[in-house]
Structure 1
Amino acid sequence: MIANPALSLDSLCVRYGNKRVVDNASFSIYSGELVGLIGPNGAGKTTLMRAILGLVRPSQGVIRSDGAFPGYVPQRQDVAWDYPISVVELVLMGLRKEPLWRRLVGVMSGGQKRSATRVNSDKTSFLGGNTTNDNVAPKAQYDDATPRGQHNNVTSSTSREAYRAARHALEAVNMLEFANRPIGALSGGQRQRILIARALIGEPAVLLLDEPFTGLDQPTQDSLSQLFRDLANNGTAVLMSTHDLAQAVHVCDRLIMLSRSVRAIGTPHELRDPQLWMDTYSVGADSPLLRSVGLLT
C-alpha cells in the first residue's frame, strides 16, 4: 500500500506580471523524508515555498495537504533581530488559531470561502520585508486540512498550554536554556534553531526550510543537518531549499532540481548524470559545482 503524500503539487505555476517564475511544478513529499529543493539563483525555489504557504497567488495548479498545514522557517535575513523580544516570545509567535495559508488565502474551517486576507506590509514588523503584493489571494486549490498538532488551537500565547508547547519546541532544538534571552543576543546558529522551534510549536506535518545554512560555519551546518534528519526520522516531512549542494547530497533522501520547472526528482544516487547538473545550473564540464556533489574528482 502506497502512503498518501504529506504535501503534493500538481501543475503549479506562479507569475510575476508577464514573467512565469514557477512553471508547471509537480511533486509530492511524504512523512518521514527530508527532501532538498535545489537549483540556481532565480530558479523559483523561494517563490514555490511562498505559494505553498499562500503568500503568493499561483496562476494555476493544485496544492494538496494530507490534513495538516506546514511550518515555515524563513531566511534569517528576513527577520528583524533587533526586535525587543525574548526567545520564548518569538517561539510563541508560531501558535495560530488557523493555518497560515488559510488566513492568507481566504479559506475558513470546513472549506467555506471568504474574501482573501492581505498581509500587513509594515516593513518594521518582526518578520521583516513586505509580504503584500499583487499575487496574494490564490487561484490554486487547497484541500481542507485539520491541524495535526494538539497545540494549534491555543488561543492565548500566555496560556500554560502555550508555554508548555514552547518548552517542548525549544527542547527539540536544544535551546531551552536560552528561553529568556533576547533574540538579538544569539549567534547565527542559535537564531536558526529558534526559528525552527517557532515553526515546530504547532507540531506541523510538513516543515519548509528556506536556505537554512546561509552564513553558517561548517560545524553549525552539520549540527542543523542532523536536527533536520532527526525531525524527518520522527515523521515530519521536511522540504529544504538550499544552495549548499554538498549538504543536500549528503543529508537528503531525495532532491528536487528546479529551474523554473522541475528538471528532475530522485535520490542523490539516482541524480548522478553530470549533464543534468550542467543543464540545470548552466555550467561547464569542469565546474567546481560538479566536484561539490561528487561528480568530479
Structure 2
Amino acid sequence: MLEVRQLAVNYRGVRGLNPVSFAVEPGQLVGIIGPNGAGKSTLLKALLGLVPAGGVVNYCTCPLHQQLAKVAYIPQRSQIDWDYPITVWNVVMMAQIRQLGWFRRPNRATKETVETALKRVKMLNLHHRRIGELSGGQQQRVFLARALAQQADLFLFDEPFTGVDKKTEAVMLEVFAQLRSLGKILILSTHEWGQSLSQLDRLLLLNQSLIAEGSPQQVMTPENLHQAYGSYLGNSWHQKIETSFFC
C-alpha cells in the first residue's frame, strides 16, 4: 500500500501544496484532478522527492524515496526533449539499462522485455523510428512502454491523456486495466473530464488542498467542483458531469 501523510510543499516560503493525506491500495487506479496551478504535478513530484516537501510517503511501510527502483514516472510531454536523436527501441531499452548497467550488452531476456512492452502499446512496428518523428499519441505510448519495461510496482503519470488520439487513449486504458489486475498501483494527474474518468477507481480533487476524495461519482458533484474551480464552470459543465457519471 502507498500511504501519504501530511505531505506539503513550500517553495522558498510560498506554499505550493497544503498538507495532503491519502492511501492507495494495490490494484487501484487513482486520478488527481483540479484546475491549472492546483498542485497536481507538484503532488506527483513530492511523492518522488523531486521537490522539497514535508510529511511522510511510505510504500509497503518503508519510505518511498528508498525504493525508487520500484517506481515508473512519466512526466508531462512538455518536459521531454523530443528533438533528442534517439529511437523508439532505445527509449524503451533505457528502462532495462538501469538494471543492467551502462557497460553490459543487452541479453536475449532484456530484448524480449523491450519487445513485449512495445507490443503491448502497439508500437513495435515503429521501433526503428526516432522519437521526434512520432505523433503525440505515439510518443506517449512509447513512454508507457518504457514504464512497462521497467517492471515497476508503482506508476505515476502526469497528464497522460493530454494531446493524445482516441486510439492511444484506448491502448493506455487497456494497459492500465492489465496493471491493476496484477496488483500494481497507478496514479495519474489529469484535467480531462471525458469518459476516461469513469474508468478510475478513485479521484482526488485538488486545489492546493485536498477538497474531496472518493469514487468519481462521489467526487464529481457540482458542490465539490464549485469549491475547486469557482463559479465560472457554468451549467454546461454541470450537464457534462451528469452525462459522464450519472446517466
Which bin holds the TM-score, normalised by the shorter protein? 0.7 to 0.9
Higher helix proportion: 2
- Alpha-carbon offset, residue 285 of structure 1: 6.7
Q: After superposition, where does 1:7-46 map in structure 2 within 5 Å?
A: 7-46=2-41
TM-score by length of 1: 0.73
Residue identity opposite 1:279 in structure 2: Q
Higher strand proportion: 2
2:55 counterpart residue number: 61
1:78 counterpart residue number: 79
Q: Take 1:249 and 1:221, find their aligned partners in 2: how far apart are those partners? A: 12
- Alpha-carbon offset, residue 163 of structure 1: 2.3
- Alpha-carbon offset, residue 248 of structure 1: 4.4
Could you say what the CA RMSD is over the residues aligned between the two structures, in angstroms? 2.2
1:292 to 1:19, Cα distance in 2 relative to 1, 3 A: farther
Verify: 1:88 aligned to 2:101, yes or no. Answer: no
Q: After superposition, where does 1:30-179 map in structure 2 within 5 Å?
A: 30-58=25-53, 60-66=54-60, 69-95=70-96, 97=98, 153-156=99-102, 158-160=105-107, 161-179=109-127
SS at 2:151's partner residue?
A: coil
Residue identity opposite 1:87 in structure 2: V
Moved more, 76-85 or 172-181: 172-181
Conserved 8 A contact 2:121-2:142: yes
Conserved 8 A contact 2:34-2:229: yes
1:248 to 1:260, Cα distance in 2 relative to 1, 3 A: farther
Q: Take 1:64 and 1:171, find their aligned partners in 2: how far apart are those partners? A: 33
Verify: 1:253 aligned to 2:247, yes or no. Answer: no
For residues 160-194 of structure 1, give each alpha carbon's deviation from its aligned partner in whole angstroms, at most 9, with x where no partner exists: 14323222322222222222221122121110011
Runs of 4+ in 1 over 4 A off after TM superposition: none
2:176 corresponds, among 228, 237, 262, to 228
SS at 2:218's partner residue?
A: coil
Q: Take 1:257 and 1:227, find their aligned partners in 2: how far apart are those partners? A: 24
The answer for unaligned runs of 5 or more in structure 1 is 98-152
Report the number of matched residues.
Answer: 236
The answer for unaligned runs of 5 or more in structure 2 is none
Q: Take 1:269 and 1:10, find their aligned partners in 2: how far apart are those partners? A: 25
SS at 1:231's partner residue?
A: helix
